[in-house]
């Protein structure tokens, strides 16, 4: 090879090496730029993630502030749809630093599908407490945060929402006088309410029609100063049909007596007396004290079965929560979505031990101790029955139990306080234990026509009873507490007792307005 050929080859290799070196340098430069860009991009993404997290936490802080305001409000204010609207904007904002703040608000929703605004669904609640509609209230809280970007101008905003369910206070102030009486709203017959064979009755009575006493029945007043009052209010006339009938005696006069009918009173074959009196001789009307007139009529309470079908918990629309409940508990779910008694008869004593709980209520049964725990308002789309020979069952708690069908007791005692085999009035603390049972249907038992409630064969109940139809009581049965029905049908021996002066009642008491609410923890966070 000649020398100039060798020199040309070397020159070509050096050029190639230079070209390669320049190429490698360019690749390294591009790679370095990419790494810088990648690092910067990751830094920005991390910044966005951090600021997004910060904005979420700031929004959650706004939700917490709103919940705190609900907790600080009165029990009545929590159910006021204008609660947040009445606050100034400064009362619903908070600053955390330079350029960082949060603002919140709340809207009250009603999830009872019976609402008038959006039947079948939820609607904004703009109502006020009422005794003829039961809302299912939920606050929808909204919180929006503003935080500055980590670098450069601009801000990041984020909106978070959450729900706070309202639960009525377990006990409400009683606002219905009807729950002071054995109350009968039937009218139109000579005897709309009859006491056939009941010596020394110690209950208060409100009779919308005419009251008759037969055989040896008498109503007597309090025995001791500490006993509850015994009041009789008859909107029609009152007839004492037999020699042994008295309405109050000199030894035990009634607390008050009103007879408002045009005829007044009649004792046996005596003429009607507009002003019912006890004397002078010849024998008067056997009433002590003399009757008065001018008492205001007391409206009949009406149970909202349609509303409680959706709102009761546990109930057809809010069954037992498996996360909170134990044992083989009853299935409250109503698969046909209609208030029609389709669940049949619930016989609690036939169940093994169970605890059915929701966030709003409870029904627990312990057969080893024969004890029931109740809380809130419960509804079963069917019947409720206690038919266990010589069973003594006690209950703890404050609740209303609605059944779309009938309620029957036979040979069973269901008491808040039990001594031996009898309900004990003296030891019954109505501030701690009260059970209201409301029946919306009826059955034609052979001894009780169109009865929604039947107590028979030495059954005893301590609490309050309501029926859209009649009630039947027979064969040495026994009730301590108020009763409201179209008519109380009494056969054989039935014992009436003092009615406790319930100032506070379960929030599910028929026609009692719910005016106080508790809040549950916030749920359903979104955003």
**pLDDT tens digits for range 190-220:** 999 999 888 789 999 999 999 999 998 999 9
pLDDT band at 25 (very low <50, low <70, confident <90, very high): very low
Question: For residue 13, is pLDDT > 50?
Answer: no
Among 167-171, 275-279, 293-297, the least confident range: 275-279
pLDDT tens for 298-357 read 999 999 999 999 999 999 999 999 999 999 999 999 989 999 999 999 999 999 999 999
pLDDT at position 279 over 90:
no
Percent helix, percent strand, percent coil in the chain, to nearest 5: 15, 35, 45
Q: Is residue 66 scored above 80 in pLDDT?
A: yes
Cα–Cα nearest to 408, from 446, 360, 354, 361 = 446
What is the pLDDT averaged over residues 404-412? 97
State mean pLDDT over 457-480: 95
Taking the C-alpha atoms of residue 157 and residue 55, their distance in angstroms, rounded to an integer, is 7
Tokens of residue 224, six digits: 């001791």
Q: Give 264: exposed, middle or buried? Use CB within 10 Å, 0-12, 13-18, 19+.
A: buried
CB 250 within 8 A of CB 288: yes
pLDDT score of 137 more than 80: yes
Whole-angstrom distance, CA of residue 213 vs CA of residue 244? 9
Q: At residue 506, does pLDDT exceed 60?
A: yes
Q: How confident is the model at residue 10 (pLDDT cuts 50, 70, 90)?
A: very low
Arithmetic mean of pLDDT, 385-389: 94
**455: number of CA atoms within 13 Å, CB side?**
27
Q: Please, are residues 351 and 331 in contact by the beta-carbon 8 Å criterion?
A: no
Closest alpha carbon to 65 in 158, 160, 180: 160
- According to DSSP, the residues that pair with 471 across neighbouring strands are 453, 488
The rounded distance, in Å, linking the Cα atoms of 439 and 470 is 10
- Decide if pLDDT at 485 tops 90: yes
**333-336 long-range Cβ contacts below 8 angstroms, 24+ apart:** 334/309, 334/381
Residue-averaged pLDDT of the chain:
90
pLDDT at 185 over 60: yes
Q: Is the confidence at residue 387, as pLDDT, over 90?
A: yes
**Using DSSP, how many helices (H) and how many strands (E) does the chain show?**
2, 38
How big is the chain by its Cα radius of gyration, in Å? 36
Residue 174 has pLDDT above 50, yes or no: yes
pLDDT band at 47 (very low <50, low <70, confident <90, very high): low
pLDDT given at position 139 = 98
Share of the chain above pLDDT 90, in %: 79
Is the separation of the CB atoms in 246 and 219 below 8 Å?
A: yes
Position 280 scores a pLDDT of 65
Can you give the pTM of this predicted structure?
0.89
Mean pLDDT across 414-424: 95
Distance of CA 26 to the CA centre of its chain: 77
Tokens of 131: 């005794």
Sheet containing 265-267: give its strands across.
Answer: 193-195, 211-213, 238-240, 265-267
Q: Give the pLDDT score at 49.
A: 60
3-class SS letters over 324-337: CCEECCCCCCCCCC
The domain ranges of the chain are 3-166, 186-267, 305-517
For residue 445 the two structure tokens come to 């038992």
Does the structure show a pLDDT above 80 at 273?
A: yes
Contact between 364 and 373 under an 8 Å Cβ cutoff? The reply is yes
502 vs 436, more confident: 436
Joined tokens for residue 398:
């404050």
Q: Residue 34: CB partners within 8 Å, gap ≥ 6?
A: none
pLDDT 10s digits, 239-256: 999 998 999 999 999 999
Query: Do the beta carbons of residue 406 and residue 439 sit within 8 Å?
Result: yes
Least confident of 127-136, 150-159, 276-285: 276-285
């Amino acid at each position: 090879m000649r020398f100039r050929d060798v020199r040309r080859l070397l020159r070509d290799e050096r050029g190639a090496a230079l070209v390669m070196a320049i190429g490698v340098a360019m690749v390294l430069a591009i790679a370095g730029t990419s790494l810088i860009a990648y690092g910067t991009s990751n830094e920005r993404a991390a910044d966005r993630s951090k600021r997004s997290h910060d904005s979420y936490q700031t929004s959650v802080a706004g939700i917490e502030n709103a919940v705190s305001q609900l907790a600080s409000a009165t029990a009545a204010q929590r159910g006021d749809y204008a609660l947040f609207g009445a606050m100034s904007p400064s009362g619903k904002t908070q600053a955390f630093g330079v350029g960082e703040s949060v603002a919140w608000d709340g809207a009250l929703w009603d999830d009872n599908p019976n609402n008038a605004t959006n039947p079948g669904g939820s609607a904004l609640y703009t109502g006020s407490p009422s005794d003829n509609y039961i809302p299912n209230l939920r606050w929808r809280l909204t919180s929006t945060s503003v935080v500055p970007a980590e670098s450069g101008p601009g801000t990041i905003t984020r909106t978070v929402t959450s729900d706070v369910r309202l639960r009525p206070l377990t006990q409400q102030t009683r606002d219905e006088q009807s729950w002071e009486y054995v109350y009968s709203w039937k009218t139109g017959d000579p005897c709309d309410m009859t006491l056939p064979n009941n010596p020394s009755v110690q209950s208060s009575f409100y009779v919308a029609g005419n009251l008759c006493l037969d055989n040896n029945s008498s109503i007597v007043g309090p025995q001791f100063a500490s006993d509850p009052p015994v009041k009789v209010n008859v909107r029609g006339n009152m007839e004492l049909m037999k020699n042994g009938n008295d309405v109050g005696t000199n030894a035990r006069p009634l607390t008050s007596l009103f007879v408002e009918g045009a005829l007044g009173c009649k004792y046996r074959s005596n003429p009607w007396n507009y002003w019912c009196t006890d004397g002078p001789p010849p024998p008067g009307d056997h009433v002590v004290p003399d009757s008065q007139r001018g008492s205001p009529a007391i409206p009949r309470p009406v149970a909202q079965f349609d509303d409680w079908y959706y709102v009761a918990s546990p109930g057809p629309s809010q069954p037992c929560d498996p996360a909170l409940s134990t044992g083989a508990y009853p299935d409250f779910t109503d698969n046909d979505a209609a208030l029609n008694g389709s669940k049949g008869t619930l016989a609690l004593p036939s169940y093994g031990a169970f605890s059915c709980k929701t966030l709003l209520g409870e029904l627990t049964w312990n057969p080893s101790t024969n004890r029931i725990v109740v809380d809130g308002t419960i509804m079963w789309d069917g019947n409720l029955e206690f038919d266990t020979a010589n069973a003594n069952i006690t209950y703890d708690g404050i609740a209303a139990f609605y059944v779309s069908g009938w309620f029957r007791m036979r040979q069973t005692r269901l008491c808040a306080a039990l001594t031996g085999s009898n309900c004990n009035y003296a030891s019954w603390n109505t501030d701690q234990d009260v059970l209201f049972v409301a029946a919306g249907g009826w059955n034609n038992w052979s001894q009780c026509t169109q009865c929604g409630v039947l107590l028979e064969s030495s059954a005893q109940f301590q609490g309050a009873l309501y029926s859209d139809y009649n009630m039947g009581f027979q064969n040495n049965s026994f009730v301590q507490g108020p009763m409201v029905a179209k008519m109380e049908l009494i056969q054989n021996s039935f014992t009436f007792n003092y009615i406790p002066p319930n100032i506070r009642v379960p929030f599910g008491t028929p026609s009692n307005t719910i005016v106080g609410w508790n809040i549950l923890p916030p749920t359903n966070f979104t955003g």
